[in-house]
Structure 1
Amino acid sequence: MDDIKSFEAEAGISSSSKSRDTVGLDDRMEELLDLLIEGPSQLSVVAILDSIGLDKTAFAGEAYNSSYVKHYFDCHAWIREPYPYEADQILDIIIKFLMPSSRLSEIEDKNYEMKKIILHEYLMTKQYLIVLDDVWSTDVLDVIREILPDNQNGSRVLITLTQIEMVTSFQFENGENIRLDFVPTGGPLRVTYQGWPFLILYHGSISLEENIEEVLDTPLGIVGFTCCKLPFCLKLCFLYLSVFPAHLEISTRQLYQLWIAEGFIPDNSEATAENYLEQLIKGGFVEAKKRKAAGTINTCSIRSRCHPVLLAVPYMVEFISSCFMDPEVFVVLLSRNPPL
C-alpha cells in the first residue's frame, strides 16, 4: 500500500478525491494496481487468469476505472471481445479508441504500415494502457505486440484470459513452458511469451488443470457459476434475455418496458431498470452497443459467452417454457460445449 500512497502524493491525489472504487482496496486489487503502475519500464502484459469465483471483467474494470490508473496513464482503451484476428482491423480499433476523433478522418484512408507509424508517433511520449477483455487465443497477442510501440515508459496491456490452456504457450525464466499441473503460489507468475514479459495473476490454491476440471464439472461452466451469484433481481433480468435471439441488438427502451411488465423492477422505474442493465454490463453479461450523447444506453446485446447459459438455464429451471424446446436437449448440448 505504501507504493500506492507514494504515487498518490506525487500525483497530487488527496484521500478526499479518491473515486469510490479505490476506497478500501482489498489485497487482490492492490496487487493488480501495483503491477500496472509500479512494474518495469518495458511494455509488458498483466494477465488475469480465470479462477473459480472471480469475475475477471469486473475485477479488471474496477482497476481500469480507478483514479490511480486514470491519473497515471495518459491514454487508455478498453476493447471487448469478439476480436478480429486481422492485424489491420485490430489496428483500426486501437486507433479509434486511443487517438483524438479530430484526427481519425485523416488516418482512415492510409494503409496499414502508415497507420502503424502514425499511431507510434502519437504514443511516443505517452504512457498508455490497453485492456483486452476475454482473450481466447494467442493470435490476438501476436498482433497486439506488432502494433504497439514499446517506449520504455511503463505502458501496459491488461488482459483477461478465459482459456486457461493458453498459459502453456508461456515460458518461465528457465525457458520451460508452463504445465497445467503447475500450482501457482507466492504472488504473480513472471513469465514470457515469445520474449514479451507477462505477469499473470491467478487467485487459486489448486493446479491450473484442476481449475479447468472444476469449471467443467459445474453444469453451467464459469458463466453460469457467476450468474448464480447475481442478486435475485439481476438474475431475473439476465435470464429474461433468453427471449431475444442471439446477436440481436436490443432496444433498451423496449427491454426496460418488458422488465417492468414482468414485475422485475420493484419501483417500475426505467431509471432503476437502466441501473440494473449497467450492473449486468459491468459484470460482463451484456454489452452496450450504442449510447446517446448523454451517455445513456440506447441498444445492447448479449455477450457471446453467455449464449449457452441463456440457451439452457431458463428452460432447466422452468423460467421460460416452450412447446418447441426440450430442456433435456439443452442440457446435453451444454455438457458437450460448456461455456468458459
Structure 2
Amino acid sequence: MALEHYISDLLYRYNCVVVPGFGAFLTQKTSAKINPDTNTFYAPTKLLAFNGQLTSNDGLLASYISEADKISFETALTYIEEHVKNWNRILGNEGSLVIKKIGVLNKNNEGSLLFQPASEINYLTSSFGLSNFSSLPITREILKEEVEELEESIPLVISTERRENKGFRPYLKYAAVLFLAFSTGLTAYKVFEKQRTNEQVARANAREYVDKQIQEATFFDLSPLELPTVTVDATSTKLPSEKDGEMHHIIAGAFRIKANADRKIKELKAKGYNSTYYGTNAYGLHVVTYESFSNATEALNALKEIKRAQSKDAWLLSKK
C-alpha cells in the first residue's frame, strides 16, 4: 500500500503527521465561509500545510504502519525510508511530486518546496457529508416602489358620489359600521386573552424553574420580635442573656432532602466545625448547625467569625 494512504488516514485524527527524513504535513481547523464574488458556501474544514524542516521521527507514522500491516516497527521504518528516497528522486528529476489525497509539492529555483494542498478531501471529521455549493443571489422586489410606479403611470380620478333614492337602504351602512366595531372588539379580546395566557405560562415556567434550582435554603424567623421585660438582680453575677439551660445554635442551612443535610454536616466537620443535625423546622426542612454554645457571648463571637469566613447567611437560634 502506498505511503500517502497511511498519511491520509492519520490526518483525520492528528494535526501533525511527520514523514521521517522528508517533512511534516500539518492541519489547522477553519470555520465555514462564503465567497461573496461567486456566492459559494464553504463548509468548515482543515487547512493542510507542509513543513520541510520537521523531519525528526516521532514514531507516529511508523507505529501506525506497523499496527495496520502487522509488521515490526523496524520494517515499517525501512518501508518509509524507501518511499522517501523515491519521492526525493522524483523531485530531483521532475521538480514536482504528486501525493494522492494530500497535494502537490513543487521545487522552485532556490531549491525550496512549495506545497499546494488537495481540495477534494476534507479532513475535518465533524464536517463529514458537507460539501461546498453555490447559490444564486437573492433579488428582492419592493412592493412600495411598484405601487409608486403604477400611481405615476395611472392617474386617479375622484368623482362625486351619486345617490339614488330608489332602492337605497341606509340601514346597511349602520350594519357595516356595527360589524366593523364588533370584529375590532373581538380581535382586541383575542389579543388580550393570548397575552394573559402567555403571562400565565411564563409564570408557571418560572415557578417550575425556581423549584428545580433551589436545593438548599436558609430560613429566618421573620415574626415581630417581642421584647420581654428584663429584671436584673444586682446580687447576681450572670448576664441577662445567660439564662439557665438556654443553648445558642449557629444555623448553617435547612435542606429539603435529608441526604443533603448529612452531606453538609460532613463537609463542615471536615473544616473543623462541630456541626450537628438540629432536626426539622416548621417547614419540614432538615436544619444543620455550625456550632452550639451555652454562652451567648461566645456564640455571637463565633457567628461573627463564620459570617466573615464562611457564609453571610449564617444566623443564631437561641432556645432552651
* TM bin (shorter chain): under 0.3
Higher helix share: 1
TM-score, L = length of structure 2: 0.18
Higher RCO, 1 vs 2 (CA within 8 Å, ≥6 residues apart):
1
Structure possessing the higher radius of gyration over alpha carbons: 2
